[in-house]
Amino acid sequence: MALVPFDDRDGWIWWDGQFVPWRESKLHVLSHGLHYASAVFEGERAYGGHIFKLREHTERLINSGRILGFEIPYTADEIDEACKATLAKNGQTDAYVRPIAWRGTEQLSVSAQATKIHLAIATWAWPNLFGENRMKGVRLGWAKWKRPHPETAPTASKAAGLYMIGTLSKHAAEAEGFDDALMLDWEGHISEATGANVFLVIDGELHTPTPINFLDGITRRTVMGLAKKRQIKVVERTIPKSDLARASEVFLAGTAAEVTPVRQVGEFTFTPAAITETLLKDYEALVRLPPEEVAARLAA
């Protein structure tokens, strides 16, 4: 599939409260967010006209900014409305939604106290992160880069800067023919893929790393809720790399990746089976429910 550059598309981008034509949504090159990665963003998906767990994404966005020391100058209600309005303005019902907040041009140095905070929201069609490879299971290579200790980087923020090691790891994995990379933490425990959280099925139970050094994904928490509804035991713990030898199934979970079966991680191979399939289908059904029914479906 030919890539259409992101600055050469039709549509509208919500920018600081106004709709700007897509091709005119240009940023000054001396923006602090570009030089010092002082930017936080979200990745959301709309299904059938509803943005799944919109308020949770909006709250995470606001909190990501606070972790980086800035306050996004809009309320959660205003951001929710702006996301919905952008989707509608672009005439989409099923799309990826990308709000991003960043520090502006008033000051260009490590210190950025005088910078204004901006917010933009774009939406575009994006079927699944792994495209056609997804259903037969993706192949993950080991990342050379380790997820940082939470005292080394603001790991609870969906901060642009944290994606530097993600892109490096994903590129290295792709160069070796893998679909993505599985990252370990600084002590060598399993952490996450470059844009999704990871789950292992061990003896019929669902095991997933405790979110200390990575984003506690909204999809991750949703999948944990769906598993509990199915009476599947969920265990959050530190998971050594060697536990992959005990896993019968492995899958990824994230907004862009949705639930994606994994058939290989480095030297380990897996066959996607019943638990992955059940949770994949449960997730697909859940995201298409009207927002007011989602919480009810997950409630015990």
219 binds ligand PMP (CB under 6 A): yes
Q: How many residues bind ligand PMP (CB under 6 A)?
A: 14
Q: Is 61 in the site for ligand PMP (CB under 6 A)?
A: no
Nearer to ligand PMP, 33 or 209 (CB): 209
The catalytically annotated residue of 146, 158, 233, 241 is 158
Chosen residue from 40, 97, 138, 218 binding ligand PMP by CB under 6 A: 218
Q: Is residue 43 part of the contact set for ligand PMP (CB under 6 A)?
A: yes
In sequence order, the 6+-apart residues with CB closer than 8 A to the CB of 259 are 219, 223, 251, 252, 253, 276, 279, 280, 283, 284
The reply on whether position 196 binds ligand PMP by CB under 6 A is: yes
Q: If binding is defined by CB under 6 A, does position 211 make contact with ligand PMP?
A: no
Determine if residue 206 is left, alpha or beta; phi over 0 gives left, psi from -120 to 50 gives alpha, anything else beta: beta
3-state SS, the chain, equals CCCCCCCCCCCEEEECCEEEEHHHCCCCCCCHHHHHCCEEECCEEEECCEECCHHHHHHHHHHHHHHCCCCCCCCHHHHHHHHHHHHHHCCCCCEEEEEEEEECCCCCCCCCCCCCEEEEEEEECCCCCCHHHCCCCEEEEECCCCECCCCCCCCCCCEHHHHHHHHHHHHHHHHCCCCEEEEEECCCEEEEECCCEEEEEECCEEEEECCCCCCCCHHHHHHHHHHHHCCCCEEEECCEHHHHHHCCEEEEEECCCEEEEEEEECCEECCCCHHHHHHHHHHHHHHCCCHHHHHHHHCC
158 counts as catalytic: yes
Nearer to ligand PMP, 201 or 287 (CB): 287
Sites for ligand PMP among residues 226-265 (CB under 6 A): 254-255
Kindly tell me which of 31 and 255 has the beta carbon lying closer to ligand PMP. 255
CB-nearer residue toward ligand PMP: 31 or 219: 219
The reply on whether position 54 binds ligand PMP by CB under 6 A is: no
- Under the binding rule (CB under 6 A), the answer on residue 272 touching ligand PMP is no
Q: Of the listed pieces 103-111, 191-199, 227-235, 242-250, which binds ligand PMP according to CB under 6 A?
A: 191-199
| Spatial distance between the Cα atoms of 177 and 140, rounded to a whole number of angstroms | 9
Q: Is 215 in the site for ligand PMP (CB under 6 A)?
A: yes
Residue 217 or 272 having the CB closest to ligand PMP: 217
Q: Which is nearer to ligand PMP, 13 or 54 (CB)?
A: 54
The answer to the question of residue 173 lying near ligand PMP (CB under 6 A) is no
Residue 293: which residues within 8 A CB-CB, separation 6 or more?
A: none
15 binds ligand PMP (CB under 6 A): no
Least Å distance between CB 30 and ligand PMP?
27
Q: Is 214 in the site for ligand PMP (CB under 6 A)?
A: yes
Binding part of the chain for ligand PMP, among 5-13, 97-105, 106-114, 192-200 by CB under 6 A, reads 192-200
To ligand PMP, the closest distance from the beta carbon of 71 in angstroms equals 22
Q: In the numeric block, which tokens belong to residue 246?
A: 């005990």
Chain contacts with ligand PMP (rule: CB under 6 A): 43, 166, 192, 195-197, 214-215, 217-220, 254-255
> Which residues form the catalytic set?
158
